């Protein structure tokens, strides 16, 4: 499957939420990364048909999705940032209801496969209101895959999860990636750094970069530095530079600094990571940082 976004725009009066976003998605996990307010949710709502774009075209395998009608929506699975459930429904009842809405034919088999996949089969008779936060997120994935979608869209899917559940959630996504495109929108770098085939960086409604994690890291090679300083100097440097990490070492601090040039003579260059890319792209020029 090949999904093409061609100059997607969205305006609300004078506010431009999306400014000509173009990208291509094929099979695999794609991370849509950006700070709050970057336009991630707006782009997702356009992809799944909740919003119409102000301009631009979405094509699936060369076909304009605006002209495909129901046949396009039948290929989509969607999990919103804050999925809403009927607390008094059992897990089984809720998924049966979702199957009816999606037009799924083999209801029993599809529900069983989805529940086994997300490890909720033994909880199928539980009321949704009694599930933990992690279980509800897994139920959100289960309802999204009932129709075996070719495009799975997830908006901030790990919000509120503890570290263990977030790891389990990422592992589920890796298993789902074969034979479909998964777009995972988040502002949490660790959600995508281990599983994403490519990452799209969205800032103020514009796609500023797209590439593999290693390509993005390579793009700021020579712009990440480490140095050890005393406490007063550490405080001063954190006010003047974009510091991605400050670790105490006895009476001193080891600083990791994002800067296009060597911040001080004692700073040594180190290999960038995706957190560094995120800061360099979105926050390096804020709060007086160089």
For the stretch 20-57, pLDDT in tens is 999 999 999 999 998 888 999 999 999 999 999 999 99
Q: What residue spans define the domains of the chain?
A: 3-213, 218-282
pLDDT class of 284 with cuts at 50, 70, 90? low
For the stretch 72-119, pLDDT in tens is 999 999 998 888 899 999 999 999 999 999 999 999 999 999 999 998
- Give the chain's mean pLDDT: 91
Specify the long-range contacts of residues 121-127, CB closer than 8 Å, at least 24 apart: 123/91, 124/90, 124/91, 124/92, 125/90, 125/91, 125/92, 126/90, 126/91, 127/87, 127/88, 127/89, 127/90
For the stretch 205-248, pLDDT in tens is 999 999 999 999 999 999 999 999 998 888 889 888 999 999 99
Say which CATH topology domain 3-213 has: Rossmann fold (3.40.50)
For the stretch 56-68, pLDDT in tens is 999 999 999 999 9
204 torsion bin: left (phi>0), alpha (psi -120 to 50), beta (else): left
pTM of the model: 0.90
């Amino acid at each position: 499957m090949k999904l093409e976004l061609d100059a997607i725009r969205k305006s609300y009066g004078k506010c431009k939420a999306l400014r000509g976003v173009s990208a291509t998605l094929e099979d695999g996990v794609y991370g849509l990364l950006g700070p709050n307010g970057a336009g991630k949710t707006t782009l997702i709502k356009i992809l799944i048909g909740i919003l119409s774009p102000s301009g631009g075209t979405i094509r699936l395998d060369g076909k304009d999705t605006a002209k495909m009608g129901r046949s396009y929506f039948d290929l989509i699975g969607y999990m919103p940032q804050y999925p809403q459930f009927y607390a008094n429904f059992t897990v089984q009842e809720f998924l049966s209801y979702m199957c009816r809405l999606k037009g799924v034919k083999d209801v029993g088999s599809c529900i069983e496969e989805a529940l086994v996949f997300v490890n909720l089969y033994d909880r199928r008779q539980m009321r949704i209101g009694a599930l933990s936060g992690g279980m509800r997120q897994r139920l959100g994935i289960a309802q999204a895959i009932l129709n075996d979608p070719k495009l799975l869209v997830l908006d901030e899917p790990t919000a509120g999860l503890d570290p263990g559940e977030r790891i389990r959630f990422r592992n589920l996504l890796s298993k789902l990636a074969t034979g479909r495109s998964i777009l995972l929108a988040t502002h949490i770098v660790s959600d995508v750094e281990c599983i994403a085939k490519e990452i799209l960086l969205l800032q103020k409604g514009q796609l500023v970069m797209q590439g593999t994690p290693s390509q993005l890291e390579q793009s700021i090679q020579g712009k990440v530095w480490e140095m050890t300083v005393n406490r007063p100097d550490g405080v001063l440097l954190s006010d003047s530079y974009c510091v991605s990490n400050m670790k105490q070492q006895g009476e001193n601090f080891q600083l990791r600094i994002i800067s296009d040039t060597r911040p001080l003579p004692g700073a040594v260059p180190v290999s960038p990571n995706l957190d560094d890319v995120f800061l360099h792209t979105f926050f390096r020029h804020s709060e007086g940082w160089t």
